[in-house]
């Protein structure tokens, strides 16, 4: 079933790439005679290929290859339009401020933007419409019920383009979703062939499975019905791990730190390269940011605070000060949205993430990485570990400037919200890779250029 999801995403990506090159061919066909079109094709192919690669990366950073967003509504086409305008700016800058390829295709670029825009918007509309059709659904039966199951049922209903449909929930307990058909296990086994399902998601711990039931379920494997653990489908759809359903055994089975050694070494090298670039930006902006802070809110310029990092080691994090002096008055408290302790200039620094530039020092010292769970204060770590015994799992990786939780979850200003955010941190710990890190960097860049930092 997850192969189908990946296939849909790959189809979407390949469709975009194919149509971009088709738009280039149409552009050259309009501009030149058939006699010279192959010469012009070779001349334009490589520079436009680079541009198209960048365009696809912009689309990716804007979540346009995330099936959760592929539906025909105002939000989707607004996002697609904004991404396209960003791409137009990039293409214009590329051709008029770089002379490496020796072409400045004013008319060709205008035509290509127009043609590719028409093709891509039409293709995305047809794709979104097609993927929401009933014939493309994976029909699921849930064995057992919980809030996580209810969350998935709502996601299937609200995001039809994901390609899932809940047919029945097998549970002896009442469920909160009245729109879903429920059955006992006996009823389900008697009627399973009539239900026309192709996937059964088993919620271990919420459904009783004796030897007789296991035998009947086993026979269904030979009738083209797939079986999957609820945790796996939940992780695939939500990109997080439900902390309420996992145990120490789950961590032993899923967190394989020995397999991450090569990745960790490559990540250290990447951190050094990016930190040197960040250090250059930091040194350029140090004086202007310091002067504005000094004029608008006085000293101090910097703010240091103890945080908990990898392997529970404490260290001091460094930032440009964004709050009023003595903001906490001795009591540790979470920052919140529209926090009145944040200065006007501090708000700008936060939305652009410029307040975090001094953390390049922490990265160069090896205390932090660019990508990872955000380091938390010792006072809050103690509270969070009492509420959630697995909280310290996030300390298996170096803390980062940005991370999977930061780009997927709104500002966490309470203990409860931080525990929800933990689900994304554990997902990252389990699945971290250079590819996932690259995706996080792109999405973080999207947040920065949209002034959506917090």
Handedness of CA 233, 239, 245, 249 (dihedral sign): positive
pLDDT in tens, 240-284: 998 887 877 778 777 777 678 888 889 999 999 999 999 999 999
Torsion on CA atoms 427, 429, 435, 437, rounded to nearest 10: 100
Pair (102, 161) in one structural domain = no
SS3 412: coil
User: Could you read off the pLDDT of 296-344 as tens digits, one per residue?
Assistant: 888 889 988 899 999 889 999 999 988 887 666 656 666 656 667 888 8
DSSP letter string, 231-273: HHHHHHHHSS--GGG--HHHHHHH--GGGGHHHHHHHHHHHHH
Domain identity same for 157 and 182: yes
Stretch among 7-11, 202-206, 370-374, 432-436 having the lowest mean pLDDT? 202-206
Count of the separate structural domains present in the chain: 3
Residues 228, 94 within the same domain:
no
Inside any domain, residue 246: no
Residues 277, 303, single domain; the answer is yes
What's phi and psi for 398, nearest 5 deg? -65, 140
- Would 163 be classed as within a structural domain? yes
Same domain, 127 and 148: no
Closest CA to 244 of 227, 231, 232: 231
**What long-range pairs does 252-256 form, CB within 8 A, spacing at least 24?**
254/430, 255/393, 255/396, 255/429, 255/430
- Taking the model in full, what pTM does it have? 0.81
Note whether 402 and 305 are same-domain residues: yes
Which pLDDT score, from 0 to 100, does residue 20 have? 96
Contact 140/199 with Cβ under 8 angstroms? Answer: yes
How would residue 443 be classed by pLDDT, with cut points 50, 70 and 90? confident
Both 420 and 276 in a single domain? yes
Clarify whether residues 228 and 263 are in a common domain. Answer: no
Domain range for 90 is 2-131
Separation CA 354–CA 332 (nearest Å)? 23
Please tell me the distance from the alpha carbon of residue 107 to that of residue 237, in angstroms, as a whole number: 44
d(CA 171, CA 182): 7
Q: Domain check: are 390 and 299 in the same one?
A: yes
In a domain, 244, yes or no: no
CATH number where 187 lies: 3.40.50.720
Q: If pLDDT is split at 50, 70 and 90, which confidence band does 102 have?
A: low
């Amino acid at each position: 079933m997850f192969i189908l999801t990946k296939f849909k995403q790959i189809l979407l990506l390949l469709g975009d790439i194919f149509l971009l090159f088709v738009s280039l061919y149409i552009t050259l066909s309009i501009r030149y005679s058939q006699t010279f079109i192959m010469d012009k094709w070779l001349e334009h192919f490589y520079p436009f290929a680079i541009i198209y690669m960048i365009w696809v990366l912009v689309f990716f950073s804007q979540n346009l290859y995330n099936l959760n967003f592929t539906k025909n509504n105002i939000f989707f086409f607004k996002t697609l339009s904004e991404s396209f305008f960003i791409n137009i700016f990039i293409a214009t800058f590329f051709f008029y401020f770089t002379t490496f390829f020796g072409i400045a295709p004013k008319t060709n670029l205008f035509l290509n933007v127009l043609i590719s825009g028409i093709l891509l918007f039409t293709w995305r509309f047809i794709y979104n419409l097609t993927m929401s059709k009933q014939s493309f659904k994976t029909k699921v039966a849930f064995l057992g019920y919980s809030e996580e199951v209810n969350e998935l049922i709502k996601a299937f209903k609200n995001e039809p383009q994901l390609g899932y449909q809940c047919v029945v929930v097998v549970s002896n307990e009442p469920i909160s979703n009245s729109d879903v058909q429920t059955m006992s296990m006996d009823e389900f086994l008697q009627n399973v062939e009539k239900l026309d399902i192709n996937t059964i998601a088993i919620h271990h711990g919420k459904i009783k499975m004796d030897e007789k039931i296991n035998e009947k379920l086993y026979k269904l494997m030979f009738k083209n019905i797939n079986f999957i653990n609820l945790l796996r489908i939940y992780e695939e759809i939500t990109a997080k791990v439900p902390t309420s359903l996992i145990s120490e055994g789950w961590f032993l089975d899923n967190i394989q730190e020995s397999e991450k050694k090569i990745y960790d070494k490559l990540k250290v090298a990447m951190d050094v390269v990016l930190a040197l670039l960040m250090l250059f930006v930091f040194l350029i902006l140090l004086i202007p940011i310091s002067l504005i802070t000094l004029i608008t809110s006085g000293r101090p310029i910097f703010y240091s605070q103890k945080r908990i990092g990898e392997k529970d080691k404490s260290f001091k994090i460094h930032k440009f000060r964004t709050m009023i002096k003595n903001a906490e008055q001795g009591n540790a408290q979470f920052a919140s949205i529209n926090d009145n302790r944040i200065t006007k200039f501090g708000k700008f620094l936060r939305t652009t993430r410029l307040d975090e530039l001094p953390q390049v020092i922490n990265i160069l010292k090896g205390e932090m990485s660019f990508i990872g769970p955000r380091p938390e204060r010792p006072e809050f770590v103690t509270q969070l570990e009492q509420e959630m015994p697995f909280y310290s799992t996030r300390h298996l990786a170096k803390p980062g400037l940005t991370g999977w939780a930061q780009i997927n979850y709104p500002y966490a200003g309470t203990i409860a919200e931080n525990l929800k955010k933990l689900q994304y941190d554990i997902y990252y710990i389990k699945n971290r890779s250079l590819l996932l890190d690259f995706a996080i960097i792109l999405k973080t860049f999207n947040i920065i250029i949209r002034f959506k930092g917090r």
